[in-house]
Structure 1
Amino acid sequence: MRRVSAPQPRGNVQQIPAYVPGRPPSPREDLVVYKLSSNENPYPPLPGVVAAAHAAVEEMNRYPDMGSAALYAELAARLDVPVGDLAAATGSVALIYQLLAAYCEPGDEVVHAWRSFEAYPIAITTAAARGVRVPLTAEARHDLDAMAAAITDRTRVVLLCTPNNPTGPALTQGEVDAFLAKVPARVLVVLDEAYLEFVRLDPSRGQALDAIGTYRRHDNVVVFRTFSKAYGLAGFRVGYAVAHAEVAAALRAVSLPFGVSAVAQAAAIASLEAQPELLERVDGIVAERERLVAGLAEVGWHVPDAQGNFVWFDLGEKAAAFAAAADAAGVVVRPFAGEGCRVTVGEPEANARLLEVAAAFSRD
C-alpha cells in the first residue's frame, strides 16, 4: 500500500492513458513473419542516409546542434519558408506535447476527431487540458462542422490529422478552408501531416490540401510533419513544425535542449537530398496500397478512403479476432479494442497474406 505521506504526482499524471505501440511479430520457424502494426516504411534507408548517419556517429562525443541549423536551412530552402518559422523535435509526437505545453492552461480545451491519433489524448492529459472528442462521420472522416461547433471560449487548439490515423481519409483544401472560416483567430489549428507523401486524392473528391499555402494565409495554422513514415527514419525520431514566427518560437522555447540528435539531423538532411529515390519508393507503396484496397473489395470488404500507408478495417467487437487470425498467418496488425484494426501496407508477400486472411475471415 502506498504511504499517504509519499510524494504524489499531479492529479492529471495519474489519468494519462498509456500509449499502445504496435506489437512486433514473434519469430517462427515455419514462415516469415511481418510487422504491419506500426505504419513503418518496410524498406531500408534511402541512398546516402546510412553514410551520413555513420559520419555523425563518429562525433558522438559532441553535443548535437541545438539549433538544428543545417536541417532548418535545408527545410527552409525546400519549403520556401523563413528559418524562423521552423521548429524541430523528436518526431511530430513531441511537437504535439510542446504545442499544448506552450498554449494550454490547465482546463483549457483541445478539440480533435475520434478515433484519431492515439497520442492526442495522452498529450492533452499530460498538459492538464481537456480533450473534446468529436466522432468521425460514417465514412471515417473528420466531421468538421461538428468540430467547429465544439469550439468554445476555453478552446485553445484544434488538431486535424490528415490523412487520419488510423482510418485513412485525408482532408481537402475546400474542407479546411471552410473550417478555418469558422474558427476564431485566437485558436491554433494544427494540420498534422505525418502521412502527407502518400496522399493521392481523387480529384472528384476535391483539391488536395496545400498545408504550407494554408499556413501562409492564416496566422493561427501550424503544420506538423515527420521523417518517420515516408522517409523511413522512425528509429531516429525527427519531425518538424512550420508555423508563424511567434508560434514556432514558442515551440522551440519549450523543447528539450539537444533533443534531436546529431545522427537524426544528419539522416534527415540526407533523406531530403534523396528526394527522387523517396518519390519512387513512395509511389511503390501507394501502388501496393491500391492493389490491397482493390483486392479487399473483390472479397467483399469496403475500407475507408486509404490515403496513408495503411488501411482500416471497421470490425467492432471482432477486432481482436481479426488480429488473432492475422497473427496466425504470420502478419501482426494493430487492433483497437471494440473498434477495428489498422494494417500497414507492407511488402507484397505480407499484403498477399493479409488478403488471404481477410477473404477467409467471417464477419457474421
Structure 2
Amino acid sequence: MVSARPAVQELPAYRPGRNPADLAREIGVARAVKLASNEVAFPPLPAVVEALAAAAAEANRYPDNGAVVLTSALAQRYGVDPAQVVTGCGAVMLCQQLAQSFNDPGTSIAFAWRSFEMYPLLARVAGARAVQVPLAPGRPGGPADTHDLEALAAAVDDTTRVVFVCNPNNPTGTAVRRAELERFLDTVPADTLVVLDEAYREFVTDADVPDGIELMRGRPNVAVLRTFSKAWGLAGLRVGYLVAEDPAVADAVRKTHVPFSVSSLAQAAAVAALASEDEVRRRCAAVTAERDRLTSALRERGLDVSDSQANFVWLAVGEEAAGLAAALEQRAVITRPFAGEGIRVTVGTPEEDDAFLAALDEVRSVTIAR
C-alpha cells in the first residue's frame, strides 16, 4: 500500500472561506455576504481587464518562466536590481519555497502565534520544527494580539533558519512599529533569514509602521514578501513576490520555483495593476475609511477591538468564536473563525458590513435573551 510521508498524513486541511453562493442555496436566501478571505470588494481594475483580454490571445503559449517584464517593473518600483526580486504563484507559494530553500530536517522556522496559518504547515512539509511564540497584548488590558519581538528573538537558536514576521499580522490586524522592529532585526543572527510578510502593507495608515523594504536595505539577512491578491485585487490570479537585500537569497528561492507557475494572465494583470497605482491608492483609502467605521461600530457595541492596519478586523471572542461564526452563517454572513480564539472579519462594502453588523446584533440579542 502506498503511503504519504507521516508529516504529510498529519497535516490538517487548509480551510478556505466558504463559497457564498453555496451558503445562500443551503439556507435558502437570495444572497450571502462573504467577509472571510480578505479580498477587496472592488471589481478588477479596468487596465487589468484590458490586459487579461490581450494576454488571453496568447494562452496557447507557455508563460515567461522568469516573469521578466513583471520582475523589471517591481525592481524599478522599489529601486532594487531585478536579481533581488522573485515572483511566485501567490505569496504563500513563496513561503513554501523559502522553507524548501533554507530548511533541512532538524532545523526550525520561528514565528508568532497566532499568525498566518500556513507557517506551521510549511515547517512540517519541510521536515523542520515550528517554533511558535505567543502573541502579547498590544495595549494595556487588551487581548494578546501583537508580536512579542523580544520573545521571538529569544526563541532564535542554532537551528533557526527562517523567521517570519507577519506585519500587519494575519489574523489580528495589529502591526509592530519601527523602533521595536529595527531592534529585532539588529538582534537576529546574520545567518538567520528574517522574512517580513507584508501581504497587507498597502492598508497601513500608522506612519510609525515601517515599510519593510526600507528596513531591508543594508541587512543581507532580510527579505520582504508582498502580494497582488489583496490591495491590487488579483486574488483569483495568484501572483506574489519577494524582494531580498541579498541576491543570493532571491536566487535560492528562484531555484525552488515550479516552472511556469505564474501564468501569462497573472503576469500581464500584475504589470497593468502596477501602472494603475493611483486608483489602487484611492481604493485602499476607501477600505481603510470603512475599516475605521466598522471598528467604531463594533466598539459601540461593547466589543474590544484593537486598531487594525489591514483590511480586516479581529474579534477576540475566545471560546465563542466557532458558535458565533456558525450563527452568523445562518444569517447569510460568512466570517473566518479561529476556534477558541476569535473571528476575523474582512472589511467589505458599507452594505456588506451593515449586513454583518445587523446579523451580529441579531445573534447577540438571541444570546442575551437566553
TM class by shorter chain equals over 0.9
Amino acid at match of 2:242: A
The CA distance in 1 between the partners of 2:185 and 2:327, in whole Å, is 43
Match among 149, 153, 159 for residue 148 of structure 1: 153
- 1:346 and 2:348 correspond: yes
1:102-147 deviation per Cα after TM superposition (whole angstroms, max 9, x unaligned): 0001121111011100111111111111100001012300011110
2:53 match: secondary structure: helix
Percent identical across equivalent pairs? 49
8 A contact 2:75–2:82 mirrored in 1 = yes
Gaps of 5+ in 2: 139-144
The CA distance in 2 between the partners of 1:215 and 1:30, in whole Å, is 49
Note the aligned Cα RMSD (angstroms).
Answer: 1.4
Deviation, 1:361, is 4.3
TM-score normalised to structure 2 length: 0.93
The match for 1:15 is 10
Aligned residues: 355
Deviation, 1:12, is 1.9
8 A contact 2:304–2:316 mirrored in 1 = no
- 1:265 and 2:267 correspond: yes
Moved more, 229-238 or 211-220: 211-220
Match among 24, 27, 49 for residue 24 of structure 2: 27
2:328 match: secondary structure: helix
The CA distance in 2 between the partners of 1:290 and 1:11, in whole Å, is 45
Gaps of 5+ in 1: 1-5
The match for 1:119 is 118
The CA distance in 2 between the partners of 1:151 and 1:241, in whole Å, is 22
The match for 1:318 is 320
The CA distance in 2 between the partners of 1:64 and 1:223, in whole Å, is 25
Amino acid at match of 1:235: G
Deviation, 1:11, is 2.7
The CA distance in 1 between the partners of 2:313 and 2:331, in whole Å, is 18
Deviation, 1:358, is 3.5
8 A contact 2:328–2:363 mirrored in 1 = no
1:18 match: secondary structure: coil
Amino acid at match of 2:87: A
2:110 match: secondary structure: strand
The match for 1:192 is 197
The match for 2:44 is 45
TM-score normalised to structure 1 length: 0.94
The match for 1:221 is 222
1:179-203 deviation per Cα after TM superposition (whole angstroms, max 9, x unaligned): 11211000000000000000111x5
Deviation, 1:360, is 4.5
The match for 1:90 is 89
Amino acid at match of 2:333: V
8 A contact 1:18–1:122 mirrored in 2 = no
The CA distance in 2 between the partners of 1:357 and 1:300, in whole Å, is 16
Amino acid at match of 1:144: L
8 A contact 2:107–2:159 mirrored in 1 = yes
The CA distance in 2 between the partners of 1:342 and 1:24, in whole Å, is 16
The CA distance in 1 between the partners of 2:11 and 2:193, in whole Å, is 23
1:299-351 deviation per Cα after TM superposition (whole angstroms, max 9, x unaligned): 11121221111011111111122112322332110111111111100111111
The match for 1:250 is 252
Amino acid at match of 1:312: W
2:176 match: secondary structure: coil
1:120 match: secondary structure: helix
8 A contact 2:333–2:359 mirrored in 1 = no
